[in-house]
């Protein structure tokens, strides 16, 4: 039976439609994947102003309570006696001691007056945090400060020496949370401050960081703590190795653990339904580093499958050795799946 040309022209072209549909689905999937990747890569947003509340002056507290009242009275009396021995009259000696004490208190009060310590701490923290990102250059920045103000309004506020303090419900939707802190003068009375910073997440989570040092440098340590908290590899997590996904589970009790021998590490991973990383996986994760989803090797010795270890400091002829060849240092391990 022959088919007319009209029937041929109106015959449904299912293979062509199927190929077009498959191509459309692939395109949608690719766009969805790119959108998801962009969403994951976007850093969490923190409110740009970090309010600081001044706490108790620990220096003054320590001075007042480090000695008993009787000891303080004896010390003042000794100062008066020393002045009298130098020829000063009793009334003058008491006046000198009192004047010196008043002058010291006045100098401290003058150093503590005025606004600006919170601005100094905030600026130092942000500058140091940015320095960590510039120096270490992680592939993905995971924390940033959100600026909702137009630049003209920001410049106007800076000109009037005002800080970004306005926050409404519309802006909260784009925020992960806020930092706020406390500071107080340290108990050793050498000009250092004790600073505590709290991160309050919109979901109710909290995280605190603390450091002590001079006002111009104390925030360096705090910025390092915050950078590590957000950028360092979390366990469990996943990383792409070639065209496959590798899950980093860590050790049973912590991200990286010590072990007495390869057999114990192998059993620990087996109990987690996992395994030890291969040489190729270990080296690739080391190349990624701690701030890009990997694990740095440092100078530690790492357990491999089959009773072998990886010793970075023994590269010749190969860093892959038997456990009997590497004596002394603790063996480190983590598990993957």
Cβ–Cβ < 8 Å for 154, 164 = yes
Q: Is the pLDDT of residue 28 over 90?
A: no
Cβ–Cβ < 8 Å for 164, 149 = yes
Confidence label for 328 from pLDDT (cuts 50, 70 and 90): low
Residue in the block written with tokens 């293979």:
15
**Residue 73 and residue 70: Cα distance in Å, rounded?**
5
Write down the pLDDT at residue 159: 60
- Sequence-separated (6 or more) residues with CB below 8 Å from residue 245: 238, 239
Strand 244-250 and strand 335-336: the pairing is antiparallel
Q: Give DSSP secondary structure letters for 198-225.
A: EEEETTS-EEEEEEEE-TTTHHHHHHHH
First to last CA, the chain: 61
Tally DSSP H helices, then E strands, for the chain.
Answer: 11, 14
The alpha carbon of 28 is separated from its chain's Cα centroid by a whole number of angstroms, namely 36
Write down the pLDDT at residue 49: 85
Number of residues assigned to the chain? 337
- 114: tokens are 């005025």
Nearest of 259, 254, 271 to residue 332 by alpha carbon: 259
Bridge partners (DSSP) of residue 265 are none
Q: What is the pLDDT of residues 237-266, one digit of tens each?
A: 999 998 999 999 999 989 999 998 999 999
Confidence label for 118 from pLDDT (cuts 50, 70 and 90): confident
Residue in the block written with tokens 């997440």:
201
Write down the pLDDT at residue 59: 79
Stated pTM of the model: 0.69
Q: What is the pLDDT of residues 189-238, one digit of tens each?
A: 888 999 999 999 988 899 999 999 998 899 999 999 999 999 999 999 99
CA contacts within 13 A on the Cβ side of 211? 18
**In the chain, where does DSSP find H-type helix?**
5-9, 14-41, 58-65, 69-85, 90-112, 117-136, 151-159, 169-172, 218-231, 262-271, 279-288
CA contacts within 13 A on the Cβ side of 254? 6
């Amino acid at each position: 039976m022959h088919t007319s040309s009209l029937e041929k022209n109106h015959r449904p072209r299912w293979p062509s439609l199927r190929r077009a549909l498959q191509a459309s689905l692939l395109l949608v999937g690719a766009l969805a994947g790119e959108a998801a990747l962009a969403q994951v890569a976007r850093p969490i947003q923190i409110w740009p102003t970090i309010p600081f509340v001044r706490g108790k002056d620990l220096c003054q507290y320590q001075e007042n309570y480090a000695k008993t009242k009787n000891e303080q009275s004896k010390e003042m009396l000794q100062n008066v006696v020393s002045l009298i021995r130098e020829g000063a009259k009793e009334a003058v000696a008491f006046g000198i001691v009192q004047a010196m004490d008043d002058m010291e208190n006045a100098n401290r009060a003058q150093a503590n007056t005025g606004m600006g310590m919170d601005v100094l701490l905030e600026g130092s923290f942000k500058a140091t945090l940015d320095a960590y990102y510039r120096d270490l250059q992680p592939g993905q920045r995971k924390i940033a400060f959100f600026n909702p103000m137009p630049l003209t309004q920001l410049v106007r506020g800076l000109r009037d020496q005002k800080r970004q303090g306005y926050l409404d419900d519309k802006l909260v939707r784009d925020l992960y949370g806020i930092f706020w802190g406390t500071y107080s003068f340290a108990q050793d009375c050498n000009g250092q401050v004790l600073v505590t910073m709290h991160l309050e997440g919109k979901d109710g989570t909290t995280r605190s960081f603390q450091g002590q040092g001079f006002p111009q440098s104390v925030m360096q340590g705090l910025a390092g703590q915050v950078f590590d908290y957000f950028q360092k590899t979390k366990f469990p997590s996943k990383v792409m190795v070639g065209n496959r996904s590798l899950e980093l589970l860590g050790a049973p009790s912590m991200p990286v653990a010590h072990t007495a021998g390869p057999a114990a590490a192998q059993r620990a991973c087996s109990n987690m339904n996992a395994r030890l990383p291969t040489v190729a996986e270990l080296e690739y994760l080391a190349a990624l580093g701690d701030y890009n989803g990997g694990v740095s090797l440092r100078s530690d010795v790492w357990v491999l499958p089959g009773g072998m270890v990886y010793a970075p400091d023994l590269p010749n002829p190969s860093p892959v050795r038997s456990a009997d060849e590497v004596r002394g240092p603790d063996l480190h391990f983590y598990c993957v799946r």
